[in-house]
Amino acid sequence: MRQYTPYDLKKRLFAFAAGITFLFLCLFGRLVYVQLIMGRQLQTKAAEQWARDLPVAAPRGLILDKNGKVLAGNSTVYTVYVRPREVDDKRLLSGELSGILGIDAEELFQKLSKNVSEITVYKKATREQANSIIAVGRKGVYLSMDIERVYPYGELASQLLGYISVDNRGQAGTEKFYDKFLKGIDGKILSESDLTGNRLEGTPQHYIPPINGLNVKLTIDYTIQSIAENAMQQAMLIFKPIAARALVMDPKTGEILAMVNKPGFDLNDIPRDDLDALNKYSRNSLVIDIYEPGSTFKIFTVATNLNEYLKGNKKAFSPNHIFSGGRTRVVDGRIIKCWSNHAGGKHSNQNLSLALNNSCNPIFVDVALSLGKETFYDYVEAFGFGKVTGIDFLGEGTGMIVPQNYAMAGDLARMGFGQSIAVSPLQLAAAASAAVNGGRLMQPYLVSEITTKDGLVAQRFYSTMVGNPISPEASRMVAEMLEGAVSQGSGRNAYIEGFRVGGKTGTAQKFENGRLAVGKNVSSFIGFFPANDPQYLALVIIDEPVGQSYGSVVAAPFAKQIFEQIIYYKDLKPVS
């Protein structure tokens, strides 16, 4: 048997003492960690166990038009809660709440009879119902104030404004894009309770007030929006299209003054149970969708040619150049005809201005092919096609352009008169604004400022120039030619006596499954006034009108209607 020396015993005592010390240090370290590091978290958990809270919804910020008219507001409603363990007579209470709220008394009694600490009895109770519940004064019944979103004008600007979810968060449109500003911070009412959830009598309640959301002021003008809405509703009734759209903007600043997509839906009666209908009617096609613009794109072919002519490019045509016969052109073995061939007419001896008046496709084929692929594509990009405009709205479409490396002569020829290219309506409007406003490509925008409920400005937005595709002189010449297209050409249905209106019609065929869809067209008109100093620009698109299809007949009259009512609204005087 081994004999332990005093040295061995000292080693064991030292190891034992070190172990005790280490264990003590671990316990001390854990105590420090729990007290200092986890203290706040544990206090919060403890508070949650001995406290109950009722939420107090933060009022969502208002959405206003540019003049301060409320387009999206709030109303106060109440949620009714019951804590069954605090109720003295569940049968009696069930009958009383049934009479006030119009709910089934027996069903409520069954819920109150379950072993739960709290149930939600009713949401969106009116102020009158809440007052009746308070007057009854039963123990165990609680009310919390909620905010319900209200849209005073129902369907007006429905796709632009968007809507919120049942938990007060933005789901579409401006409500979603600016949700972080609009939503605010919810408050709560705290009260102490025992282990079973019963409120402790005599303990104070603590109120944490909500913080209001910020108000968002749009560039939209309610009156101009209403004018455009009424015009598009008439278009739906007269031509029975699948959709009618209108966009009105300030061509100098990029401010959107009106944005209409018909059909729409009442924002106070959202079809949440029918997702297909909700997705269809809440889609802001003016921003999101793309289409072949047809003859409205000739504006940019003319602008490109004039700007290159002024720069001295020998491949560009002089405004006085007389083009040969305008009936047909053959490109890559395919015949391109003028629409007048179908109407029994013939265009000849036209300069560029007359070709624009008559919307003669073969002339624009000549211009595009003469300028060449590289130059033409440079201007397509400079005008903002093929990329987003940067508008403050989710899901913006970029358009579709045949890649330059793969574009054949036939593609370039058709792009010259608005085929073989797809654009969003917003892109087209922004680019057209640049063509006539002096050559400045402005970024479209929908919100001018964000403010507190007291009117203090939290953030302000300004117009932004994002490009300069053509010179002021070329822009002036384009505007003059487009004024002639309204006073003497295909856009004469938009002419207004005493006011200088410019514009261009468009009639584009639709494609389905890679083929032309027979009898399906998009009729459009893009116009502006005054032609010498544009203040308003409007794009009208009628999708698949029944009967007539020419943009000059279907779309131009509604642009005229919008302009005439803006003139009346703004009390504008005729030019002398």
What residues are labeled active site? 295
Three-class secondary structure of residue 153 per DSSP: coil
Distance CA 338, CA 53 (A): 73
524 and 505 in contact (C-beta within 8 Å)?
Answer: yes
Distance CA 308, CA 470 (A): 9
Q: What angle do CA 426, 427, 429 make, to 5 degrees?
A: 65
428 and 385 in contact (C-beta within 8 Å)?
Answer: no
162 and 173 in contact (C-beta within 8 Å)?
Answer: yes
* String of DSSP letters for 311-323: TT-TTSPPTTPPB
- DSSP E strands in 284-440: the ranges are 328-331, 334-337, 400-401, 421-422
Three-class secondary structure of residue 110 per DSSP: helix
Among 386, 412, 433, CA closest to 315: 412
Computed from CA positions of residues 498, 501, 507, 513, in that sequence, does the dihedral angle turn out positive or negative?
Answer: negative
Three-class secondary structure of residue 163 per DSSP: coil
Distance CA 372, CA 374 (A): 6
How many Å separate Cα 278 from the centre of its chain?
15
Among 268, 182, 269, 110, CA closest to 459: 182
Residue type present at position 563: F
Three-class secondary structure of residue 569 per DSSP: helix
CB atoms within 10 A of CB 353: 20
Say if strands 256-262 and 243-249 run parallel, antiparallel, or are unpaired: antiparallel
Distance CA 440, CA 430 (A): 10
